[in-house]
């Protein structure tokens, strides 16, 4: 310990006392020990260290039983802290502690008497037993005397003035408090928590011998009663919210004031600490559970008293979960044919496990970026696929819908639809054909008019007139320059596509021509008729080559194999025949259907033939053997059209009920259906790249379906 000497020269004497304990004398100059800590270190347990007046700078550490006493009429000043640590039977007497404190920790039988403590720390008794008698404590920034952590203390005749907090503060300890004076402090004169035991009082509200100014002169010097319940309890906002919730109240009259509020949400508290402590009025709820919750609020006074029995209640409405639901286009249709669609919205708003604030409004978008204005929620509304980020271009679309609840939470749902390009006509579509380039689509009508559509523009390129009966079949030549048509006027006609000129008329059938097909080399045309025959024609000249007979009933369909060597036909006799084109001989007669065969098609590799029948089945036949490879039962009754996709992996069928189904060729499994037609399907045709399937039927519409790859 260093030293500061003031005034005249001070003598220091150090001698060893005799008897049970030695006595050591310390003074600032001319001694063997001018340092108190050095004398303490030299002393043995039970010794006494006498300190003569002076100013001694530095902390003192007492870790052995001994007495430290100040002697003389002038002050013995320790400019620092005094620590009594882990020992017993220590007395500190007659010392002035300046700019420091006295700390007693983990010790027993400690006496601090007639000391002056001037400075920020006061006297702290922690995990110890001590007697504090006749001390003067001033200017402490915290408590004058703090007794805590299961300590025991006798506090008698002390004067405590001008401290920053409580004069005597007892926490989780036992204290006998007598004849003390506490004044001019910022806190309470005497404060004890509910876990402490205080003796020395004649009654709970009067501590014997302690000054009446202990609590500002009030009639009660020790507050052990919890405050009453808060009144006028309110929450802001009082409506549903996903944000901050503030709780305010009016405090009751309380001796020691209100230090904090406690709250619990949902269920009533079971004890004074069964909740969350919050400081301030109003206070903010931290992470409240969602839904309608009851907030239970009780108060804590300045002495730490609180009781869950003095509780008030208020309702809290909290919802941070966005609404959910689903949206359907045209009652759940996956394909739509106009840009104007009807939406059906199902929405649910939950807050936790309870119903939330409710869906208030919605808005829509075709791209998730450009949004319509918010509008009141409606379960049914009209929407246009062109506006707000949309486009009239056919293809897959996503319609986005955002739902906003009354709290302001926003959830998003969406529906997937495909806008199918549709061409409306005044009469049914009987037949369809794409050019090899995929740029033109021809279709035949009941009135005998053939129309050619330019798919790039969606406009009719030209109308071909000449037939006097319905055109039930059309076929482009492989180079796309010619178009063959078959009609129930008993003729086959060949047209020049570029000009629409009728090149020639092929006559010879005695009945309506239901089917026509070009050979892959473009040099031969096959036609099937209600006269039960198939005729082969030379395409460049129109010359009749031969006829194929054997069905005995009207022939409804013909198709060339990819190599041009075989021709498949289907007829009302419920059979499929495979013919050798060169000789006209029947290679296979395929009979399993129970109804008229209305359509036949070769797979791109020529190994399979598909036949569609009014018996509701599609049969796949092995070309080399004529055996049935697979039977598919199609939805919607009688099947009137079948066509392979260009890659051969799937095929499409169209039924009398307007159902179009796409099937996996390898397994026969249905991949998906194309819904929307309102009449029988008469014709199907794939674009050469397989991306579009054209359908036509009795509802007078040609639909171009975008096909999933």
Residue 657 Rama label (left phi>0; alpha psi -120 to 50; beta): alpha
Q: Are residues 456 and 401 in the same domain?
A: no
Of 318, 343, 373, the one marking the end of a domain is 318
**DSSP reduced 3-state for 213:** helix
Judged against a pLDDT cut of 60, whether residue 9 lies above it is answered with no
pLDDT, residue 224, reads 65
Q: Are residues 308 and 367 in the same domain?
A: no
Judged against a pLDDT cut of 50, whether residue 17 lies above it is answered with no
Q: Are residues 389 and 451 in the same domain?
A: no
Tell whether 224 is covered by a domain: no
Q: Are residues 346 and 402 in the same domain?
A: yes
Average per-residue pLDDT for the chain: 89
Q: Are residues 311 and 332 in the same domain?
A: no
Q: Are residues 250 and 338 in the same domain?
A: no
Mean pLDDT, residues 442-459:
93
Tell whether 197 is covered by a domain: yes
Number of domains in the chain: 4
Q: Are residues 68 and 155 in the same domain?
A: yes
Q: Spell out the residues 6+ positions from residue 512 whose beta carbon is closer than 8 angstroms to its own.
A: 469, 472, 486, 487, 488, 489, 490, 529, 530
Residue 299's domain spans which residues?
A: 231-318
Can you give the pTM of this predicted structure? 0.57
pLDDT tens digits, 595-637: 999 999 999 999 999 999 999 999 999 999 999 999 999 988 8
Structure tokens at 638: 């009688």
Tell whether 36 is covered by a domain: yes
pLDDT tens digits, 384-409: 999 999 888 888 889 999 999 999 99
Among 38, 49, 59, CA closest to 119: 59
Q: Are residues 242 and 259 in the same domain?
A: yes
Q: Are residues 406 and 521 in the same domain?
A: no
Question: Residue 525 in contact with residue 482, Cβ under 8 Å?
Answer: no
**DSSP reduced 3-state for 503:** strand
Q: Are residues 6 and 102 in the same domain?
A: yes
The CA radius of gyration of the chain, in Å to the nearest whole number, is: 52
List C-alpha distances in Å: 318 to 87, 241, 407: 57, 5, 8
Structure tokens at 86: 């882990």
Of 318, 336, 368, the one marking the end of a domain is 318
| φ, ψ dihedrals at 62, nearest 5° | -110, 110
Tell whether 154 is covered by a domain: yes
What is the distance between the terminal CA atoms of the chain, rounded to a whole angstrom?
Answer: 91
Structure tokens at 582: 């060169």
Instruction: State the CATH number of the domain containing residue 282.
Output: 2.60.40.10
Q: Are residues 188 and 118 in the same domain?
A: yes
- C-alpha of 185 from chain center: 55
Cα diameter, the chain: 153
Mean pLDDT, residues 160-183:
89
Q: Are residues 210 and 240 in the same domain?
A: no
Tell whether 10 is covered by a domain: yes
Tell whether 572 is covered by a domain: yes
Of 215, 244, 270, the one marking the end of a domain is 215
Question: Residue 179 in contact with residue 209, Cβ under 8 Å?
Answer: yes
Judged against a pLDDT cut of 90, whether residue 187 lies above it is answered with no
């Amino acid at each position: 310990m260093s030293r500061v000497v003031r005034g005249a020269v001070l003598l220091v004497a150090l001698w060893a006392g005799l008897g049970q304990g030695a006595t050591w004398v310390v003074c600032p100059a001319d001694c063997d020990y001018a340092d108190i800590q050095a004398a303490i270190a030299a002393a043995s347990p039970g010794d006494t260290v006498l300190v003569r007046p002076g100013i001694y700078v530095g902390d003192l550490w007492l870790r052995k039983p001994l007495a430290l006493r100040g002697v003389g009429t002038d002050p013995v000043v320790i400019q620092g802290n005094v620590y009594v640590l882990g020992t017993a039977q220590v007395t500190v007497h007659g010392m002035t502690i300046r700019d420091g404190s006295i700390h007693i920790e983990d010790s027993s039988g400690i006496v601090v008497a007639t000391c002056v403590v001037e400075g920020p720390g006061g006297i702290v008794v922690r995990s110890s037993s001590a007697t504090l008698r006749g001390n003067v404590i001033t200017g402490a920034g915290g408590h004058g005397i703090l007794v805590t952590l299961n300590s025991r203390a006798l506090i008698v005749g002390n004067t405590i003035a001008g401290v920053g907090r409580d004069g005597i503060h007892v926490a989780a300890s036992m204290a006998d408090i007598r004849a003390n004076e506490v004044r001019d402090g910022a806190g309470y004169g005497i404060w004890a928590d509910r876990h402490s035991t205080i003796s020395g009082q004649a009654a709970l509200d009067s501590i014997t011998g302690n000054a009446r100014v202990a609590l500002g002169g009030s009639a009660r010097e020790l507050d052990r009663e919890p405050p009453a319940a808060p009144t006028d309890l309110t929450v802001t906002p009082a409506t549903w919210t996903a944000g901050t919730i503030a709780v305010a109240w009016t405090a009751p009259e309380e001796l020691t004031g209100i230090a904090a509020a406690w709250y619990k949400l949902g269920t009533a508290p079971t004890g004074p600490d069964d909740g969350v402590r919050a400081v301030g009025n109003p206070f903010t709820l931290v992470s409240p559970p969602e839904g309608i919750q009851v907030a239970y609020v009780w108060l804590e006074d300045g002495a730490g008293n609180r009781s869950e029995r003095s509780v008030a209640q208020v309702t809290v409405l909290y919802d941070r979960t966005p609404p959910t639901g689903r949206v359907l286009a045209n009652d759940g249709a996956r394909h739509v044919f106009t840009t104007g669609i009807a939406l059906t919205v199902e929405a649910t708003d939950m807050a936790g496990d309870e119903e939330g604030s409710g869906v208030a409004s919605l808005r829509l978008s075709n791209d998730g970026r450009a949004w319509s204005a918010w509008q009141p929620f409606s379960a049914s509304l009209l929407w246009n696929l062109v506006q707000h980020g949309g486009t009239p271009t056919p293809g897959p679309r996503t319609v986005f819908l955002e739902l906003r609840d009354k709290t302001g939470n926003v959830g998003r749902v969406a529906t997937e639809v495909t806008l199918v390009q549709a061409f409306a006509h005044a009469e049914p579509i009987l037949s369809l054909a794409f050019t090899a380039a995929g740029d033109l689509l021809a279709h035949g009508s009941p009135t005998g008019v053939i129309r050619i559509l330019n798919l790039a523009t969606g406009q009719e390129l030209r109308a071909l007139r000449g037939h006097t009966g319905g055109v039930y079949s059309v076929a482009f030549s492989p180079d796309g320059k010619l178009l063959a048509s078959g009609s129930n006027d008993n003729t086959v006609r060949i047209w020049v596509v570029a000009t629409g000129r009728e090149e020639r008329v092929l006559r010879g059938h005695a009945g309506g021509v239901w089917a026509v097909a070009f050979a892959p080399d473009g040099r031969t045309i096959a036609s099937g008729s209600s006269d039960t025959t198939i005729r082969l024609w030379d395409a460049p000249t129109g010359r009749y080559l031969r006829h194929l007979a054997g069905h005995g009933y009207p022939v409804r369909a013909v198709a060339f194999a990819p190599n041009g060597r075989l021709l498949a036909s289907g007829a009302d006799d419920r059979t499929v025949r495979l013919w050798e084109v060169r000789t006209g001989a029947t290679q296979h007669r395929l009979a399993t259907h129970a109804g008229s065969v209305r359509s036949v098609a070769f797979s791109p590799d020529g190994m399979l033939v598909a036949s569609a029948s009014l018996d509701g089945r599609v049969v796949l036949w092995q070309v080399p053997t004529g055996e049935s490879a697979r039977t598919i039962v199609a939805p919607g009754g009688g099947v009137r059209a079948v066509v392979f996709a260009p890659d051969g992996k799937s095929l499409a069928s169209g039924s009398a009920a307007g159902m179009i189904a796409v099937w996996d060729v390898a397994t026969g499994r249905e991949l998906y259906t194309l819904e929307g037609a309102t009449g029988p399907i008469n014709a199907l045709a794939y674009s050469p790249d397989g991306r579009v399937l054209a359908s036509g039927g009795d509802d007078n519409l040609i639909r171009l379906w975008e096909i999933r790859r």
